Amino acid sequence: MNELHEECGVAAVYHLPGRPVSPLCPGGPMSAPRLIPRLLLDIQNRGQLAAGITRYCEGDSQLLLTYKNVGTVAEVFSLAQRTRFDDLMTRFSGSAALGHVRYATCGKDDPSYAQPFERHHIKKHKWFSFAFNGQLANYLELRERLLRDEDNHLIRDTDTEVIMHVLCRELNPNPAPDLAQVCRALPREFDGAYSLVFLNALGELVVLRDPLGFKPLSWAFDGSLFAAASESVALLNLGFPPEAIKPVKPGQAIIVSKEGIRFEQFGNAPHCAHCFFEWIYFSNVASTLDGRSVYLARKALGEELARLETLPVDDGRTIVVPVPDTSKAAADAMAFALGVPCLEGLIRNRYTGRTFIDSHMTREERANAKYTPLREVLEGKRVLLVEDSIVRSTTMRVLVHRMRALGRPAEIHIRVACPPIISPCFYGIDMSTMSELFAPRYITNGELTEAIQARMAKDLGADSLRYLPVEAVARAIGIDPKDLCQACITGSYPTPWGQKLAEAARARSLRGETGRTYDAIDTTSERCSRPSPGCDRGLSPAGIASTEGDGPASYGDTSGNR
């Protein structure tokens, strides 16, 4: 079984009935689903593999209707073909909808892995669709418990399907259970990250965020139109004023129905575990996450780099060059603090996708095609090359080689606006084995010395290398370190199953084994020894309730291959 690797994005809209038509929804309340592709476009950075939508339309025989496929948002929704897009949105009219963009390595060419996942049922409260951003660290335990019953069967190797079965079980009672109570069951089952949007055939929408708040999620309401998205920039570009956009609190569920909006706290934790990598790399630079601007955080990281700089920079031949695009804010701030030019010595081909996100080509091939060094900028210069992070080092090796061959700089000094990545992520970022990470090959006792950084630089083909220290991250982001998940740079995980997987990864690495940590983890020898806000002792011995009715549904197919 392949380990899950995903960093996704979710969105939702709901136009409340009996209210004035929102100016953000000029087509009227039933045109609310048309806003989903717009929201997804602004979080496309979080996933370029697949996209989808589910809408709710009261009075339609198909109360919930789902459409999803492999491809970018523009491809899936035919945004370049106005007639096809209008026809699709006409069929998908309704008062509420949710959407998803996906990245994952498992099942990547199969449209059935795309989200949302819809589950049909004759009972309206059991007919639902949902999408989520995150990853369950205890996925294999949940899966094993489910399949312990030989009458149970799973179609896909994805935690999304396991989440669907947990929701099925919690929605099973008749009459319909309160959705807040359904949400309260999730922290007892799940160890890991989950920002989730849910819509049922009763016309009830739920937007929730796990109690540790790993993944970002924002919402806004103008009196008629409610909207939510993984990043605030999507809501801002939809037309909500900045003061109306708020983060979903960790452990909070927002339940929207014809009756209005209510807020329920379904889980609590003594602290948060916001993924620091969201500020450093993943999120749109225009977003604000949990009250902290992504741009200002990256700017502060660049200022931290400038304070550590020891090279002479007043010789008139030193320049700062960012690795486009996520490093630009840090590079600009570093250059300004040092009083040297920040120049675009690397031009990015914007049509190749993000190396970290898209892996249809090899990483070397994609990195080679992605950036073009400019000799006119680089030749004869001392270059301070600023990168947001180094995970596997593939891109950096290719960059340094191409810069030397094509740009002919005098020196290349790598400056990384992040500490070394020393441990895998099991909460939704595509770096999940020790063997694929660059830094652990050099850092054996947790200490990063000048000598170790010199060895790293030599292996990368650079003249020098400098990382930021761990303490600089929380300082730059402006959030207490105890409220950040920094597991990949500290090796300390905020949930029991994350820690268990990390220990297994380290043991495998010491034995010289490669491959995914999930492939070797023993889910039967022990359970989580201590509960946490994101992890209880798993499912009851009886397992998860079996699925009733149909599984996930796709409506149409833009590629014509269904």
Q: With residue 144 as reference, give the H or E element that holds it.
A: helix 139-147
For helices 179-189 and 159-170, the axis angle rounded to 10 degrees is 130
Kindly state whether residue 56 falls inside one of the protein's structural domains: yes
CATH number at residue 488: 3.40.50.2020
Last residue of a domain, one of 273, 303, 330: 273
CA distances from 408 to 184, 328, 335, 344, 400 (A): 59, 22, 21, 15, 10
| Dihedral angle over CA of 293, 295, 300, 306, nearest 10 | 180
CA distances from 546 to 149, 158, 162, 166, 259 (A): 10, 16, 11, 9, 31
Phi, psi torsion values for 516, nearest 5 degrees: -75, 140
Q: Is 52 helix (H, G, I), strand (E, B) or coil?
A: strand
Nearest to 220 by CA among 14, 10, 44, 47: 14
Give pLDDT, residue 274: 98
Together in a domain, 50 and 125: yes
C-alpha 164, offset from chain centre: 19
Q: How many CB atoms lie within 10 A of CB 268?
A: 11
Kindly state whether residue 520 falls inside one of the protein's structural domains: no
Residue found under tokens 């929408």:
205
Last residue of a domain, one of 474, 493, 512: 493
Give pLDDT, residue 558: 29
Together in a domain, 267 and 299: no
- Non-local (6+) Cβ contacts of 365 within 8 A are none
Kindly state whether residue 48 falls inside one of the protein's structural domains: yes
Q: What angle do CA 448, 453, 454 make, to 5 degrees?
A: 145
Together in a domain, 262 and 302: no
Residue found under tokens 């079996």:
546
For the chain, 562 residues long, give each residue's pLDDT as a single digit of tens: 333 345 799 999 999 999 999 999 999 999 999 999 999 999 999 988 899 999 999 999 999 999 999 999 999 999 999 999 999 999 999 999 999 999 864 445 678 889 999 999 999 999 999 999 999 999 999 999 989 988 888 888 889 999 999 999 999 999 999 999 999 999 999 999 999 999 999 999 999 999 999 999 999 999 999 999 999 999 999 999 999 999 999 999 999 999 999 999 999 999 999 999 999 999 999 999 999 999 999 999 999 999 999 999 999 999 999 999 899 999 999 999 999 999 999 998 877 654 444 545 666 777 777 899 999 999 999 999 999 999 999 889 999 999 999 999 999 999 999 999 999 999 988 776 788 899 999 998 778 999 999 999 999 999 999 999 999 999 999 999 999 999 999 999 999 999 999 999 888 888 877 666 655 565 544 444 333 333 332 333 223 233 333 333 333 332 333 2
Together in a domain, 249 and 339: no
CA distances from 142 to 152, 211, 460 (A): 13, 19, 41
CA–CA separation, 389 and 437 (whole Å): 12
Kindly state whether residue 506 falls inside one of the protein's structural domains: no
**Structure token digits, residue 293:** 């601007």
CATH number at residue 58: 3.60.20.10
Together in a domain, 221 and 369: no
Kindly state whether residue 552 falls inside one of the protein's structural domains: no
Together in a domain, 256 and 374: no
CA–CA separation, 423 and 291 (whole Å): 27
Residue found under tokens 């606006």:
417
Nearest to 489 by CA among 394, 413, 388, 398: 388
**Structure token digits, residue 143:** 């899966």
Kindly state the DSSP code that residue 441 receives in the 8-state scheme. Answer: G
Q: With residue 485 as reference, give the H or E element that holds it.
A: strand 484-485
Give pLDDT, residue 84: 96
Kindly state whether residue 69 falls inside one of the protein's structural domains: yes
CB distance 33 to 55 below 8 Å: yes
Kindly state whether residue 534 falls inside one of the protein's structural domains: no
Together in a domain, 87 and 222: yes
Burial degree of 449 (CB within 10 A; 0-12, 13-18, 19+)? exposed
The catalytic residues are 8
Q: Which amino acid is at 528?
A: C
Query: Which residues constitute the domain of residue 175?
Result: 9-273
Q: Is 429 helix (H, G, I), strand (E, B) or coil?
A: coil
Last residue of a domain, one of 443, 465, 493: 493
Together in a domain, 256 and 214: yes
CA–CA separation, 70 and 25 (whole Å): 27
CA–CA separation, 53 and 208 (whole Å): 18
Q: Which amino acid is at 127?
A: W
Together in a domain, 310 and 265: no
Together in a domain, 179 and 36: yes
CB distance 35 to 13 below 8 Å: yes
- Non-local (6+) Cβ contacts of 83 within 8 A are none
Residue found under tokens 């889980």:
267
Strands across the sheet containing 382-387: 318-322, 382-387, 411-416, 464-467
Handedness of CA 31, 36, 37, 41 (dihedral sign): positive
Give pLDDT, residue 149: 86
CB distance 33 to 13 below 8 Å: yes
Q: Is 69 left (phi over 0), alpha (psi -120 to 50) or beta?
A: beta
Alpha helices in 394-516 (DSSP H): 394-402, 450-460, 471-477, 487-490, 496-510
Give pLDDT, residue 519: 55
Q: With residue 82 as reference, give the H or E element that holds it.
A: helix 82-91
Burial degree of 465 (CB within 10 A; 0-12, 13-18, 19+)? buried
Give pLDDT, residue 429: 86
Together in a domain, 69 and 217: yes
CA–CA separation, 313 and 338 (whole Å): 7
Question: pTM of this prediction?
Answer: 0.88
Number of independent structural domains in the chain: 2
Is the backbone peptide bond immediately before 116 cis, with ω within 30 degrees of 0?
Answer: yes
CB distance 32 to 94 below 8 Å: yes
Together in a domain, 151 and 219: yes
CA–CA separation, 358 and 45 (whole Å): 10
Kindly state whether residue 287 falls inside one of the protein's structural domains: no
Phi, psi torsion values for 107, nearest 5 degrees: 60, 30
